[in-house]
Amino acid sequence: MPIRKMKESSEQHLVIKTHLQNPVNPVQKQPKTAQNGKGPPPQEPHNPKTQNQISPPTKNRGRRRGRGGRKSDQGDVCMRPSSRHCTVAHIPASPSFASPPVASTPNGYVENGGNSCSMEMGFPTSSKSLSFARRPGFGQVGIKCIVKANHFFAELPEKDLNHYDVCITPEVASRSVNRAIMAELVRLYKESDLGMRLPAYDGRKSLYTAGELPFAWKEFNIKLVDEPDGINGRKRERDYKVVIKFVARANMHHLGQFLAGKCADAPQEALQILDIVLRELSNKRYCPIGRSFFSPDIRTPQRLGEGLESWCGFYQSIRPTQMGLSLNIDMASAAFIEPLPVIEFVAQLLGKDVLSRTLSDSDRVKRSVRRKYRVSGLTSQPTRELVFPVDENLTMKSVIEYFQEMYGFTIQQGHLPCLQVGNQKKANYLPMEACKIVEGQRYTKRLNEKQITALLKVTCQRPRDRENDILQTVQHNAYDQDPYAKEFGIKISEKLASVEARILPAPWLKYHETGKEKNCLPQVGQWNMMNKKMINGMTVSRWACINFSRSVQESVARGFCNELAQMCQVSGMEFNPEPVIPIYNARPEQVEKALKHVYHASMNKTKGKDLELLLAILPDNNGSLYGDIKRICETDLGLISQCCLTKHVFKISKQYLANVSLKINVKMGGRNTVLLDAISCRIPLVSDIPTIIFGADVTHPENGEDSSPSIAAVVASQDWPEVTKYAGLDPVRGTVSGGMIRDLLVSFRKATGQKPLRIIFYRDGVSEGQFYQVLLYELDAIRKACASLEPNYQPPVTFIVVQKRHHTRLFANNHRDRSSIDKSGNILPGTVVDTKICHPTEFDFYLCSHAGIQGTSRPAHYHVLWDENNFTADGIQSLTNNLCYTYARCTRSVSVVPPAYYAHLAAFRARFYMEPDMQENGSTGHTAKGTRAAGETGVRPLPALKENVKRVMFYC
């Protein structure tokens, strides 16, 4: 059989081990040529999906909030800021924008007469001249209380920490191999050449020691003996040259000054060394993934289905805080490939029995030495048809004969293909029956819905249980016995940090005067619509309904629509009880045809008047149907749609109908409720002058969606002083640009008759290492957008980063004290922390603005990077908390400030506008087909939203 050449693939490879000494290896006539090592110089790792962007990529897998994304909680960019601040030009009193000639530029900016507004404004031209807002003081508002945080005090070492460069030849790509080389070096030379030092190694180019090594430069020769290879059973010995060279001494005094608040720039290298030291032992004990460590021994793995299982683990990161150095420990879970016999894995994956009979123990060949292989594919032929040359004379033998003669192994499943192992130039064949999947392989692709549900059950822990697991993890890690922590003089407390907190009061909400309850004070983050009417209920005169669910009869659909119409009326809307045309039944595969038919039929019936609302009844498992409806309605027909699942149609719940009515009202352009203080003009730094509040997010493709681009969305408030209605214009691929901001400023002016004289900008989707770049780029984009509208128009800006993908958790000081927890056992909504575990000097705070439902609540982390409006701590904390009660889709306070939440929804919605495709494994929703042809460097723009859609909160 000719040698099979395998095609490179981006799919996750599977590592298996066989019970057999030698696999089938087709004879190869030509010797394999080694690579000559030529190529481009090594580059820093980068994300190929975002390499053409102007501003840095930000990762938010959402997600799912929880929807995907990798973010680093530790800053990975070391830049030295200065005290230089951006000056603010005079704000003209004119209520309207001037209209100078405006030219668009390729990067989405707008130019005004060729002037560079960033230079006029004195805006920093690089991050090195940029400094973040300093903390203006600490908040005082609210009821004081004590909470516990999963931060553990770390005592600073008194020893000098030294950095050495490591060069391994030949170069090794694998961190695990690098670590094995350095472990062998330390074993051989610790007591001699290393002067009894126990170094910490990052797996790449850096080695760290407590105290100097006896040399500034030295070369070592290390021999690494691998386990026997899978081809001929020989042990493979490899020789490496390791050169260790002194680089620098870490300034621990600088770190101490920073923690004491006496200097502003963090000594990133010192923090990095301490982080690596405290991870060294765990790297040897557990399976490291990112900043977390996993093991099947921490807790029994739970099956997720289709050959996957969840492993429990813990997250660990050293952080600078007001209390000094802090070790942040949290629980974590991840999906791994189950270490099954390959044939059982295949049976699980295919969801059916691929075996003709159960294998007995005697059928399995057991050897004392097992080999590991990387699976690169499956043969196109079944095992019984596979033959290969066994010698130079090309004598052919079948795989079945080979295994019978060589091992006495009878292949039972000849109808199944063989596994292909080896490299691109040759392929070896292994029967599935003889192989087992190696333990500890992380599954990196997207999970389907059933797997996600199973994983969430594992990760969902009550606060008390999570706190106990964190404490047990710290005790099990025994940092006081860690030889590396001892070597470097680091001491870790085993007690959770006790932190002063405050519970901010809930805001009063205003409803319509005609309702029995005109005002409402939420209790524990919740309220309901009983006896209340929407403050601005809209009118829906012309609506239609499409039923895509075969199980829903027309009478059932009609009854549901009647109930929904009544609920909309009770809630304060004017809603015509009768649709324009009778309910239309359609098949999901004919979605576009059905939508256009209903659209045109309705237009004919109303003599050309637009259809205001389309209701759609969807099957519970609707695949790509939901995304198709949104894409067609919003980018093609200009229709506002509301989708309802079959399960809610059959089991009509008043609470469900009330929530749907809230969504419909804001989609129609109405307001459900507003802050009483807003209409009373009592919100500091919002009510005094026209203020616009932005929300921005950049979402990134989930694992397994390599061809899908990053999508940026920006929303902004369109009413003042209420700041409740938001508009979201066309999302774009890439990054937040000045053009998006400019359009929303113009839209605010049209909606309110005022131009914004203050800007508050909440930015989601940014990790700490990207703060400088994002602020530099996006603040400049805001400046240019303003300057393009009117000369010298530069309203003061407050720029706040919102983070949910962090690992700080807050627990009640006493879990038995019912007055300090909500029904789920979590801390009360409104709990804010700006001391002890927060940044030593910068303006940040943690806010848990929502009541828990299940699991442990995650507070949002707000970091004020830039503040020209001079907010006090109480001012920004109270504003943020109050805004969380204005989220339009429910009668609960939410965990993230609504403008950022809406921006995320808008960016997530835009994924449906790309070419649709069914997701793998039958999960619902959309993925994108390849949007880049070979050789293309850019991506096609997203389709534009229809104008009537832009004006409302369509993404709700």
pLDDT tens digit sequence for 882-904: 999 999 999 999 999 999 999 99
Mean pLDDT of all residues in 142-158? 95
Choose the weakest-confidence range: 118-122, 423-427, 586-590. Answer: 118-122
Fold classification of 537-670 is: Rossmann fold (3.40.50)
Banded pLDDT at 844 (limits 50, 70, 90): very high
pLDDT of residue 348: 84
pLDDT of residue 55: 39
Nearest residue to 709 (alpha-carbon basis) of 734, 736, 730, 737: 734
Q: Tokens in use for 784?
A: 């240019």
> Looking at the predicted structure, is the pLDDT value of residue 70 above 60?
no
SS3 content of the chain, % helix, strand, coil (to 5): 25, 25, 50
Give the mean pLDDT of the chain: 84
Nearest residue to 158 (alpha-carbon basis) of 487, 482, 494, 477: 487
Banded pLDDT at 916 (limits 50, 70, 90): low
The CATH code of domain 342-437 reads 2.170.260.10
Banded pLDDT at 101 (limits 50, 70, 90): very low
Nearest residue to 181 (alpha-carbon basis) of 205, 164, 197, 162: 205
pLDDT of residue 406: 86
CATH architecture of the domain covering 676-805+869-914+944-950: 2-Layer Sandwich (3.30)
Banded pLDDT at 397 (limits 50, 70, 90): very high
Could you give the CA distance from residue 514 to residue 871 in angstroms, rounded to a whole number? 37
Are 661 and 564 in contact, with CB atoms under 8 Å apart? yes
pLDDT of residue 228: 56
Q: Tokens in use for 682?
A: 């009592």
Report helix angle 252-259 to 268-285, nearest 10.
Answer: 100
pLDDT of residue 21: 60
pLDDT of residue 484: 96
pLDDT of residue 935: 38
Could you give the CA distance from residue 1 to residue 389 in angstroms, rounded to a whole number? 6
Choose the weakest-confidence range: 712-716, 748-752, 952-956. Answer: 952-956
Banded pLDDT at 391 (limits 50, 70, 90): confident
> Looking at the predicted structure, is the pLDDT value of residue 86 above 50?
no
> Looking at the predicted structure, is the pLDDT value of residue 361 above 60?
no
Could you give the CA distance from residue 49 to residue 52 in angstroms, rounded to a whole number? 8
In one-letter notation, the amino acid at residue 180 is A
> Looking at the predicted structure, is the pLDDT value of residue 865 above 50?
yes
Bridge partner residues of 536 (DSSP): 671
> Looking at the predicted structure, is the pLDDT value of residue 927 above 70?
no
Could you give the CA distance from residue 203 to residue 283 in angstroms, rounded to a whole number? 10
pLDDT of residue 156: 85
pLDDT tens digit sequence for 302-334: 999 999 999 999 999 999 999 999 999 999 999
What is the longest distance spanned by two Cα atoms in the chain?
Answer: 96
Banded pLDDT at 831 (limits 50, 70, 90): very high
> Looking at the predicted structure, is the pLDDT value of residue 518 above 70?
yes
Could you give the CA distance from residue 457 to residue 454 in angstroms, rounded to a whole number? 5
Domain ranges of the chain: 158-250, 342-437, 537-670, 676-805+869-914+944-950
Nearest residue to 725 (alpha-carbon basis) of 583, 845, 898: 898
Banded pLDDT at 420 (limits 50, 70, 90): confident
Q: Which has more pLDDT, 340 or 130?
A: 340
pLDDT of residue 160: 81
Could you give the CA distance from residue 843 to residue 131 in angstroms, rounded to a whole number? 12
pLDDT of residue 90: 35
Could you give the CA distance from residue 195 to residue 748 in angstroms, rounded to a whole number? 69
pLDDT of residue 25: 63
Q: Which has more pLDDT, 590 or 939?
A: 590
170 cis-preceded (ω within 30 degrees of 0):
yes
Mean pLDDT of all residues in 238-243? 96
Mean pLDDT of all residues in 381-410? 89
Question: What SS3 class is residue 33?
Answer: coil
pLDDT of residue 158: 83
Query: For tokens 């260790």, what's the residue?
Result: 244
Whole-number percent of the chain with pLDDT over 90:
66
Nearest residue to 293 (alpha-carbon basis) of 278, 273, 304, 303: 278
